[in-house]
Amino acid sequence: MNSPSTQFVTSRRMGIYDPIHQISMWGENFEGNSSPNTSASAILAVDTKLDDQSEDTSQGALGPSNKYDQDTTKRLDKVRRRRLAQNREAARKSRLRKKAYVQQLETSRLKLIELEQELERARQQGLYIGGGLDATHLGYSGTINSGIAAFEMEYGHWVQEQNRQTCELRTALHSHVADIELRILVDGGMSHYSNLFRMKATVAKADVFYLMSGMWKTPAERFFLWIGGFRPSELLKVLVPQLEPLTDQQVYDVYNLKQPCQQAEDALSEGMDKLQQTLSETVAADQLGEGNYMPQMATAMEKLEALVCFVNQADHLRQETLQQMSRILTIRQAARGLLALGEFFHRLRALSSLWANRPREPA
């Protein structure tokens, strides 16, 4: 797809085949010659004896085959039981992590309520609020934007969980765990990024300018900011070298993903530029300096609604890019990709910390 759309699908399906077991049986022919002088009872005795021998021989031939089938079935059952046990254990750990995360969010919510109450009391007493919160959190009335405060607290927990998942992926890859365990970790990592996009959609409604400013990110991360987040095409350039070797088909699929991704980014950037120009013309409409500008402000407010849409579309493009890459890669490559992605952002945060604490020359 070559159109500048934010939705595109490039998925590959891998066929799965089952081995076919064939069992061959063999038989034995018996030819007997009877003389005219042999009595009927003797012939009957000989036939009975031969039938017994044939039955014993047949049982002897089928015995090892049945035993082999039973051994194979036992081994398959053992493998199946072991995998089921691993799945149950992984599911149990996932439930525990989810429960702990929910409890952590509830604790954070209670702390947020206490913080808001303290800030409200301070505002009523006429005290200056500073230090802990940025000025962008405060409206002209001096009240706290609860949506931003909740997002910052929730995003802090999100970063902690991402660091934990990154360490878990690194340990799993180094210990060469089975693909089924890696699948659980990869699904958890993809779900974690989906939670981030959900959180951003909520805070964009509360204050889209705050989200666009990147104040919730570290300075080094803000240096790469594009419409409230990372630029998907740039991250593909960072991640792809970490995933090599890729098959020819994977290289082709990644290339076909980069092209529409870049086109969608260009379309969103052009739309943002046009919105900025339109907004500037709206604010500067009529004669400046007259003091009566409320009609222009009303029109500008309507145009700013489009800014939330642009942020949501950019996040949709980011999410689609991650999902398409996970479909192109094998499960082990996807795990390495999530590990590289988490490590990349961790290094940017570390760089910001080092920059903030760098030695400074005395003035």
Q: What are the residue boundaries of the structural domains of the chain, listed by start?
A: 76-132, 146-284+293-356
Residues recorded for the chain = 363
CA atoms within a 13 Å half-sphere pointing along the CA-CB vector of 225: 17
- φ, ψ of residue 144 to 5 degrees: the values are -85, 135
Is residue 117 over pLDDT 80? no
- The mean pLDDT value for 114-130 works out to 51
pLDDT at 68: 66
Lowest average pLDDT, out of 113-122, 125-134, 253-262, 336-345, goes to: 125-134
Q: What are phi and psi of 192, to 5 degrees?
A: -65, -40
57 pLDDT tier (thresholds 50, 70, 90)? very low
Name which residue leads in pLDDT, 302 or 7.
302
12 — pLDDT class (breaks 50, 70, 90)? very low
Contacts of 304 (CB under 8 A, 6+ apart): 208, 279
Q: Any idea what DSSP says for residue 131?
A: S
Q: What percent of the chain has pLDDT over 70?
A: 68
pLDDT of 39 higher than 90: no
Q: Is the pLDDT of residue 56 over 60?
A: no
Structure letter (DSSP) for residue 135: G
d(CA 120, CA 71): 73
Q: Does pLDDT of 51 surpass 70? A: no
For 24: left if phi > 0, alpha if psi spans -120 to 50, otherwise beta; the answer is beta
Q: Taking 50 as the threshold, does the pLDDT of residue 140 lie above it? A: no
pLDDT of residue 220: 94
More confident residue, 237 or 67: 237
Q: What is the reported pLDDT for 292? A: 64
Nearest in space to 202 (alpha carbons), one of 308, 121, 323: 308
Of 70 and 180, the one with more pLDDT: 180
Q: What is the pLDDT of residue 325?
A: 94
Q: Is residue 170 over pLDDT 90?
A: yes
Residue of 17, 3, 13, 7 lying closest to 249 (CA atoms): 13
pTM of the model: 0.61
Distances (CA, A) of 270 to 161, 208, 237, 242, 259: 35, 19, 22, 31, 17
Q: How confident is the model at residue 64 (pLDDT cuts 50, 70, 90)?
A: low
Q: What is the mean pLDDT of the chain?
A: 77
The answer to whether residue 71 scores a pLDDT higher than 70 is yes
DSSP 145: -
